């Protein structure tokens, strides 16, 4: 259980810098800060996935709460307005914990009030519960609670501003309130066990979101406050906020028990022993969501959708390391159905049904994900029936050439790229400017290509396809010979980052680690050790690998500022947590007896669970100490790769 005391909770800066996250397994989520002040456009108590796992709409931004004890009022909320924080309910916070849900305890004189928030799996529903938790003996005072919902009702990438088009009509019945501000969006239902509902109908203006301001975006929002509900806290107060009316507040306690049981079962199934691993298992589950009849992976919260590259890289850690191979199978099958011209989709957009195919590495990571699945399950039958022909067709497309100039060159290596496109994971782009184009033959693409060929050689052998086995073997041998001749950088004692028919990019980047870490490697022991030592010396930090060596003149140590500033730094020094998985794999290969060093390398992530996204691992970090967390506070491949390489 992750818990914070008064020292953190009563400090506005400390409490506001820590974010909580709840998810519903279909792409919807709730998130906010410990202090109660929203700092992102994405913070809200209900962001519903109206077209699971996408079509996300932030419906309810927050709830303002006032507790009255014998006539004395206590405001529990917090908001940043221009020049002022009001109210300042965090001053009453005694603790915040994940138990397993976000749970706040407010100390109001002799009375402790506990608030718990959780989402219902498979439904766009958030439940908020309030109860008295005082252990002090006293004459029972009259305790009442008034809650005021704050509505936004916009696409989750947008901000709301006061508008006459916002439909403020309410339908109030016994224990239920319905509102539908936008006819193009679903209605929102509030089921409650309060004693009274009163219409209000006010706009609250100029909420300020500090992180949006820091990131160079519009950072002010107006929210509509339609009604208030009063509760007698002699009994527990419950509110169910949902896009469906059929969930009653009377079901809240039962739904809570079901959610706790579900999360305990996840931990048990994963055979997680340490508190660190248990929390990573729960964190991992937040990224696995339904897509159609199968599953997919949300790349990161709060703003990413499901990306092919992130899904394939994260799949082993999120599913196989947590004892859920059937979900891995679902994901592999779902993406195999969406292969086009030998390519996996890069991402499924928030709007529209057309997938985007602008990636070279997602497809190659698919092969490694399939290999990991078979290693864990031995399920070759599934591969033979559903995947093998798709995988063979992928290789055929790469041989004859597919989108964006992706093709196998005469030297057996894989070429990729055209002007104006970014095909590798280093994909930052500002307008028409690609920050790290890496056109030609990127080092990790060759490592993945060789790995894919050897995987297919193995499968062909298992399936008695000796002709294809021989062909894949020959292709892999040629790639290995060409790779060692073209990519070894004698001056640096490591690998070039990109080779393009003559010119070689000697930038010291982390991409070369995959030439060692993947199961099938083209490097001999001496060169593999050279790569690991170089990466450790120049790129390793407590939270992952730098994306560029500090010795490079293009190195940018801090990820902050406008979108242009941040995109320019994204892969020019910024630390990426997910890369730690490949580094640990490579380190174990060349230093098999240094498991104590591996534990030391991973220890920073356990501390990180208590900052930024509480219980989660961030997307990126600054390249220099104190390595402040940046980007998404909850990133799938960050969690997955740490979980995958954790000491067993």
pLDDT grade, residue 292 (50/70/90)? confident
Instruction: Identify the weakest region by mean pLDDT among 18-32, 339-353, 558-572.
Output: 339-353
Q: Which residues contact 347 (CB under 8 A, 6 or more apart)?
A: 299, 305, 306, 307, 308, 355, 356
Q: What token pair was written down for 229?
A: 């509900």
Question: What does DSSP assign to residue 172?
Answer: E
Model confidence at 141: pLDDT above 70: no
- pLDDT score for 427: 92
Q: What token pair was written down for 530?
A: 């050279």
Supply the pTM of this predicted model. Answer: 0.96
pLDDT digits (tens, 9 = 90+) for 415-453: 999 988 999 999 998 888 889 999 999 999 999 999 999
Spatial strand order of the sheet with 544-546 comes to: 540-541, 544-546, 575-576, 620-621, 629-630
- pLDDT score for 191: 97
- pLDDT score for 244: 86
Q: Which residues in 448-561 belong to E strands, given as ranges?
A: 488-489, 494-495, 498-499, 504-505, 540-541, 544-546
Domains and CATH numbers, the chain: 2-262 (2.70.98), 539-648 (no CATH)
Model confidence at 625: pLDDT above 60: yes
pLDDT grade, residue 352 (50/70/90)? low
- pLDDT score for 349: 67
Instruction: Identify the weakest region by mean pLDDT among 105-109, 348-352, 361-365, 514-518.
Output: 348-352
Q: What share of the chain is helix, strand, coil (3-state, %, to 5)?
A: 35, 30, 35
Distinct helix (H) and strand (E) counts, the chain: 18, 37
Beta carbons within 10 angstroms of residue 287's beta carbon: 27
- pLDDT score for 481: 98
Model confidence at 139: pLDDT above 70: no
- pLDDT score for 282: 98
CB 131 within 8 A of CB 117: no
Average pLDDT over residues 88-93: 98
- pLDDT score for 353: 65
CB 568 within 8 A of CB 541: no
State the Cα–Cα distance between residues 153 and 46, nearest whole angstrom. Answer: 10
Q: What token pair was written down for 29?
A: 């989520």
pLDDT digits (tens, 9 = 90+) for 295-311: 999 999 999 999 999 99
Model confidence at 249: pLDDT above 80: yes
pLDDT grade, residue 347 (50/70/90)? confident
Q: Which residues contact 178 (CB under 8 A, 6 or more apart)?
A: 170, 171, 187, 188, 189, 190, 245
Average pLDDT over residues 562-584: 96
- pLDDT above 90 covers a percentage of the chain that reads 92
Nearest to 401 by CA among 342, 458, 478, 352: 342
């Amino acid at each position: 259980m992750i818990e914070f005391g008064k020292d953190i909770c009563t400090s506005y800066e400390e409490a506001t810098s820590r974010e909580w996250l709840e998810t519903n397994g279909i792409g919807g989520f709730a998130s906010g800060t410990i202090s109660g002040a929203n700092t992102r456009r994405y913070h809200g108590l209900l962001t519903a996935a109206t077209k699971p796992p996408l079509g996300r709409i932030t419906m309810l931004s927050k709830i303002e709460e006032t507790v009255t004890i014998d006539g004395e009022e206590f405001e529990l909320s917090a908001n940043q307005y221009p020049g002022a924080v009001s109210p300042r309910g965090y001053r009453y916070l005694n603790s915040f914990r994940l138990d397993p849900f976000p749970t706040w305890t407010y100390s109001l004189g002799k009375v402790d009030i506990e608030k718990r928030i959780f989402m219902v799996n498979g439904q766009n529903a958030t439940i908020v519960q309030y109860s008295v938790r005082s252990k002090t003996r006293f004459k029972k005072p009259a305790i009442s609670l008034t809650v005021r919902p704050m509505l936004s009702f916009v696409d989750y990438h947008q901000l709301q501003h006061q508008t006459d088009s916002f439909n403020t009509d309410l339908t109030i019945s016994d224990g239920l309130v319905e509102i539908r501000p936008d006819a193009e969006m679903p209605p929102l239902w509030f089921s409650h066990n309060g004693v009274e509902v009163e219409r209000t109908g006010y706009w609250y203006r100029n909420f300020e979101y500090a992180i949006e301001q820091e990131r160079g975006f519009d950072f002010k929002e107006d929210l509509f406050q339609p009604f208030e509900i009063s509760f007698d806290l002699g009994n527990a107060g419950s509110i169910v906020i949902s896009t469906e009316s059929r969930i009653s507040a009377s079901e809240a306690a039962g739904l809570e028990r079901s959610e706790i049981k579900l999360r305990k079962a996840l931990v048990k199934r994963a055979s997680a022993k340490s508190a660190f691993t248990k929390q990573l298992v729960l964190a991992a589950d937040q990224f696995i969501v339904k897509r159609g009849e199968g599953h997919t992976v949300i790349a990161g919260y709060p703003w990413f959708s499901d990306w092919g590259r992130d899904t394939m890289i994260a799949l082993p850690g999120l599913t196989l390391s947590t004892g859920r191979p059937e979900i891995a199978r679902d994901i592999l099958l779902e993406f195999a159905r969406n292969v086009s011209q030998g390519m996996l989709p890069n991402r499924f957009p928030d709007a529209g049904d057309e997938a985007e195919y602008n990636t070279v590495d997602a497809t190659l990571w698919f092969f490694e994900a399939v290999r990991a699945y078979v290693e864990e399950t031995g399920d070759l039958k599934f591969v033979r029936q559903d995947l093998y022909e798709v995988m063979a067709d992928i290789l055929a497309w790469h041989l004859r050439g597919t989108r964006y100039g992706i093709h196998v060159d005469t030297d057996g290596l894989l070429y990729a790229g055209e002007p104006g496109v970014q095909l590798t994971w280093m994909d930052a782009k500002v307008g028409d400017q690609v920050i790290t184009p890496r056109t030609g033959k990127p080092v990790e693409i060759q490592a993945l290509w060789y790995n894919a060929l050897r995987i297919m050689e193995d499968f062909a052998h298992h399936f008695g396809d000796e002709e294809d086995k021989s062909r894949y073997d020959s292709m892999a041998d040629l790639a290995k010979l060409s790779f060692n001749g073209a990519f070894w950088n004698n001056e640096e004692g490591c690998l070039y980052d990109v080779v393009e028919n003559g010119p070689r990019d000697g930038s010291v980047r982390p991409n070369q680690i995959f030439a060692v870490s993947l199961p099938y490697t083209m490097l001999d022991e001496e060169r593999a050790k050279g790569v690991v030592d170089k990466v450790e010396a120049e790129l390793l930090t407590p939270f992952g690998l730098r994306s560029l060596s500090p010795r490079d003149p293009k190195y940018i140590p801090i990820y902050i500022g406008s979108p242009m500033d941040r995109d320019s730094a994204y892969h020019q020094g910024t630390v990426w947590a997910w890369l730690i998985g490949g580094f640990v794999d490579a380190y174990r290969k060349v230093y098999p007896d240094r498991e104590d060093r591996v534990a030391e390398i991973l220890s920073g992530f356990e501390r990180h669970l208590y900052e930024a996204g509480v219980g989660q691992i961030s997307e990126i970090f600054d390249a220099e100490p104190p390595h402040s967390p940046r980007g998404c506070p909850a990133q799938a491949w960050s969690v997955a790769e740490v979980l995958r390489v954790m000491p067993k």
